[in-house]
Structure 1
């Protein structure tokens, strides 16, 4: 007997009600309130209220911006470990949305996190006013292992006030919880397990599109932007059929994904993860506590080039991700999406500059240090000779940081730019040349420095831009470029010189500095140097 739609709806309601009751009994549902909001005092704005698919939300009014934090867009993933998430459960009354939700399980400052991590945050100038504002959807960095959407640098208030836009940040599953590929272990339901973190982002984008009008935004004008791992996740989304049509523009910052992990390499890493936690099969993995499973991230990667922790990232699984994002060509489904691809001039000073020895290198000690850290299979002597010819005034330490940046961080951006140019897709390139004045300027334009400049959050803790006029000026240039791009599909604005699309003939690039300028093929000599070795995206092979 085939159930009627009414029977199915009734059965689904009873099932969800039972799950909700169980969560209440376990104390795992946030406190809800059916009481009316407190009457505001003479200097207190009324708390904004929003209605979404699962209930009502009470946010906060902050300096002219309506803010909703910790909004669920999916259910607790613990019961669906390694599987696509379900929709969030409905709630009764008005849910408080004044605090950020849990980050994904991880180590470090954003840990320990929770498997109940599918939350997003919204900043908007107005609700339900038909404003059709561009929506800026930010995906955090931290590779595929760490991070959350609640960093103070990601506060969307300044962008809202500057550009009359809606800003969204998001948490999603990471590391073994979001990218452990178990498709080779016999269960067809696990075919997409290596990409469920990406599917979380798809689910969040669907939520944003569904509720755009409620938050004063335009469902047909969504810009995804992200830094480092966030940019890599965007590159991956551009090749995922499930993400087709969910965003109209893309802006990536020091984050690329040219190729994904192959299924054999991903399966090898899954076995290493299982050995690390003493699990013989998938059932044993599912039975582990969150903390016990997280221990798998501390295993060493089998890569023969990099000595790092276990790589976990998107997988070419033939289902969720059927093609590599930018190899052998850019994904056809995103050819019509305008895209900005950016980097910083001194990327690796962020993570190699913390060792004082790297600032005291000599011509004698440089070769061995460079061979360990450049992650490109070229003779150090070849690289050093080329840099001494290109930049005869560079010290050994300056050669080290420039070469590791070009060999490790910048090459993926060049690969993506070239693939988009061959495709004829609308693409713009930028490079942040302005460096932080802190620490005597020794870190330069390091990896992550463009985050507070694009968000216009230079005054927030952790920005490391300093509070000077130069920082505010560069932030104005970059944040206005993002807003212009979101609004018109072109990053140029009145405060910038001419910014042309990237082409293979001229390789036009906007150099963001105190005085921005466009240059053709900046660092062309470095680009030619590293063309001698094939580009291999981290994690592609074992």
Structure 2
């Protein structure tokens, strides 16, 4: 599998799952601007936010805070620059614009103030009585394949965790061609001789802003956890590897995805070739011409046939070396990690391309995918019966999509990270939709854990949530809250969750679902096989 195919798989699989979730227009908007809101003073000026109530707890909410200058004009495809100071009181009561994106995902519902290149804003939820406190902080990065997403999405709303005493932050970062274009000309003008990764540089800048300013909101700059799902989880793994975020984070949470294994980023040289092909495609003969093009024109071209997808690269600055090499050498952040994936990250129908789930069809697909490695693949993912085809096909589809990269991150951090790793397996399927058009799920789909983990089930009115769903959400959210506060997910009233460690031929892992419990995960041979079976161009 090539890197291009890996990133295309990330976007296609995520988009296919999103389209199936029928989440359109399900989230209620919050109240409009509130007069005489709470004020905080940050390095660039005074902000006026909103008062809100969640679970009987009073909160202060600040939306649309600029953490960097607008990356427009001459700042397009440059590292984020400091935000300008302002005079007087700046209203922070509306979400800022979302970053430029093509609208590829049906489950994304935005509360943002439109869409713009001027999108480097973050949002803060904090307890009303947090002034002068030193509360733990969560900085959360959205998913969306590095081509979609926004900090205003209601599923990432920070009120639930803020009600538990955690200052919660969501961050916008540049996407698609605006966030990840690499060109020799961009490397030439960079003092670090780097190109691409502007979206990741945005995240590092936001993390620095939080470190420098969060005390004004009652947060402890020495107790910052970074977290995210899918591309957001990949971002967390990259931030842990980057020297630019060293010392800024205390703990990390990764929900399905890492810049390791089959999702390892390409070299700068490879990314520059992709960028040159894009420039040629849009008829630009210089960097100046590219910067002069309307954002909408560039965005539309990203969807043209034959245009490769943009994503992180080993730029030599944010990522000085391939992440695999950084983690293997133990040069990543040595912080506790809570990480895992879901029971239905993929689905056998995606693998079989809608062919009937028969043993013959399954073997044909596996042999085409793995060639000389097919016999070993069939031993690890057997398909002798229709039932086995469905189970193994779902496992293989999910592993090749994102679960393998997640396992690789867990395993390397466990071996070289000098801190505990807590490994989960989320199994709760979503219930049937309220309108009856969508049946209950058979497994936990990709992204399906977000509302449970962040305590946002109630806002999603597509699904007929049950008492069981609410109980699972309470468990997962309490695990997250305990980890953010202490670096250990264990707390009173929760099933014990041991750190990942060898046990009976496998590793301890926590299944989180209707019957949360610890089990021994013995899937390492599957992932070791996938690591070996990747073609040379997919290796770092």
Q: Which residue of structure 1 aligns with residue 150 of structure 2?
A: 148
Q: Which residue of structure 1 aligns with residue 445 of structure 2?
A: 446
Instruction: Name the SS of the counterpart of 1:332 in structure 2.
Output: coil
What is the alpha-carbon distance in structure 1 between the residues aligned to residue 458 and residue 485 of structure 2? 25
Asked if structure 2 preserves the Cα contact closer than 8 Å seen for 1:128 and 1:213, the reply is: no
Compared CA separation, residues 323 and 503, structure 1 to 2 (3 A): farther
- Displacement of 1:512 after TM fit? 0.5
What is the alpha-carbon distance in structure 1 between the residues aligned to residue 69 and residue 159 of structure 2? 27
Asked if structure 2 preserves the Cα contact closer than 8 Å seen for 1:178 and 1:195, the reply is: yes
Q: Which residue of structure 2 aligns with residue 518 of structure 1?
A: 518
What is the alpha-carbon distance in structure 2 between the residues aligned to residue 282 and residue 47 of structure 1? 44
- Displacement of 1:504 after TM fit? 4.9
Q: Which residue of structure 1 aligns with residue 309 of structure 2?
A: 311
- Displacement of 1:330 after TM fit? 4.2
What is the alpha-carbon distance in structure 1 between the residues aligned to residue 52 and residue 326 of structure 2? 47
Partner residue of 1:74 out of 46, 50, 68: 68
What is the alpha-carbon distance in structure 1 between the residues aligned to residue 350 and residue 459 of structure 2? 22
What is the alpha-carbon distance in structure 2 between the residues aligned to residue 201 and residue 210 of structure 1? 14
CA displacement 1:407-464 (0-9 Å, x = unmatched)? 3321112211221222143211111022223243345111001101110111122775
Q: Which residue of structure 1 aligns with residue 169 of structure 2?
A: 168
Compared CA separation, residues 499 and 239, structure 1 to 2 (3 A): same
Asked if residue 427 in structure 1 is aligned to residue 429 in structure 2, the reply is no
Compared CA separation, residues 143 and 52, structure 1 to 2 (3 A): same
What is the alpha-carbon distance in structure 1 between the residues aligned to residue 186 and residue 121 of structure 2? 30
| More displaced stretch, 134-143 vs 51-60 | 51-60
- Displacement of 1:133 after TM fit? 0.7
| More displaced stretch, 336-345 vs 528-537 | 528-537
Compared CA separation, residues 371 and 100, structure 1 to 2 (3 A): farther
Instruction: Name the SS of the counterpart of 1:98 in structure 2.
Output: coil
CA displacement 1:279-338 (0-9 Å, x = unmatched)? 12212211111011223422566xxxxxxx623222212222112223363463434211
Q: Which residue of structure 1 aligns with residue 51 of structure 2?
A: 61
Compared CA separation, residues 353 and 365, structure 1 to 2 (3 A): closer
Compared CA separation, residues 377 and 177, structure 1 to 2 (3 A): farther
Instruction: Name the SS of the counterpart of 1:224 in structure 2.
Output: strand
Asked if structure 1 preserves the Cα contact closer than 8 Å seen for 2:158 and 2:454, the reply is: yes
What is the alpha-carbon distance in structure 2 between the residues aligned to residue 530 and residue 331 of structure 1? 21
Q: Which residue of structure 2 aligns with residue 177 of structure 1?
A: 178
Aligned pairs for 1:191-270 (under 5 A) are: 191-258=193-260, 259-270=264-275
Partner residue of 1:339 out of 316, 337, 359: 337
Instruction: Name the SS of the counterpart of 1:394 in structure 2.
Output: helix
Asked if structure 1 preserves the Cα contact closer than 8 Å seen for 2:351 and 2:365, the reply is: no
Partner residue of 2:297 out of 283, 292, 302: 292
Compared CA separation, residues 312 and 186, structure 1 to 2 (3 A): closer
Instruction: Name the SS of the counterpart of 2:202 in structure 1.
Output: helix
- Displacement of 1:347 after TM fit? 0.4
Instruction: Name the SS of the counterpart of 2:99 in structure 1.
Output: coil
Compared CA separation, residues 185 and 194, structure 1 to 2 (3 A): closer
Q: Which residue of structure 2 aligns with residue 486 of structure 1?
A: 484
CA displacement 1:40-90 (0-9 Å, x = unmatched)? xxxxxx521222222222211111211111111111111301111222222
Instruction: Name the SS of the counterpart of 1:514 in structure 2.
Output: coil
Asked if residue 130 in structure 1 is aligned to residue 132 in structure 2, the reply is yes
CA displacement 1:150-182 (0-9 Å, x = unmatched)? 111011111111x21110001011111111112
Asked if structure 1 preserves the Cα contact closer than 8 Å seen for 2:183 and 2:273, the reply is: no
| More displaced stretch, 66-75 vs 495-504 | 495-504
Q: What TM-score, normalized to structure 2? A: 0.82
Asked if structure 2 preserves the Cα contact closer than 8 Å seen for 1:412 and 1:537, the reply is: no
Asked if residue 411 in structure 1 is aligned to residue 404 in structure 2, the reply is yes
Q: Which residue of structure 2 aligns with residue 365 of structure 1?
A: 361
Asked if structure 2 preserves the Cα contact closer than 8 Å seen for 1:175 and 1:312, the reply is: yes
Asked if structure 1 preserves the Cα contact closer than 8 Å seen for 2:345 and 2:444, the reply is: yes
Partner residue of 1:103 out of 95, 98, 104: 98
Compared CA separation, residues 396 and 177, structure 1 to 2 (3 A): same
CA displacement 1:81-134 (0-9 Å, x = unmatched)? 111122222223322222111111110066982110000011000366222110
Instruction: Name the SS of the counterpart of 1:295 in structure 2.
Output: helix
What is the alpha-carbon distance in structure 1 between the residues aligned to residue 442 and residue 278 of structure 2? 35
Q: Which residue of structure 1 aligns with residue 13 of structure 2?
A: none
| More displaced stretch, 359-368 vs 285-294 | 359-368
- Displacement of 1:211 after TM fit? 1.6
Q: Which residue of structure 2 aligns with residue 4 of structure 1?
A: none
What is the alpha-carbon distance in structure 1 between the residues aligned to residue 393 and residue 372 of structure 2? 14
For structure 2, the residue ranges without an aligned partner over 5 or more in a row are 1-32, 433-437
What is the alpha-carbon distance in structure 1 between the residues aligned to residue 205 and residue 395 of structure 2? 39
CA displacement 1:11-44 (0-9 Å, x = unmatched)? xxxxxxxxxxxxxxxxxxxxxxxxx985xxxxxx
Cα RMSD for the two superposed structures: 3.0
| More displaced stretch, 205-214 vs 493-502 | 493-502
Partner residue of 1:48 out of 35, 38, 45: 38
* Aligned length in residues: 484
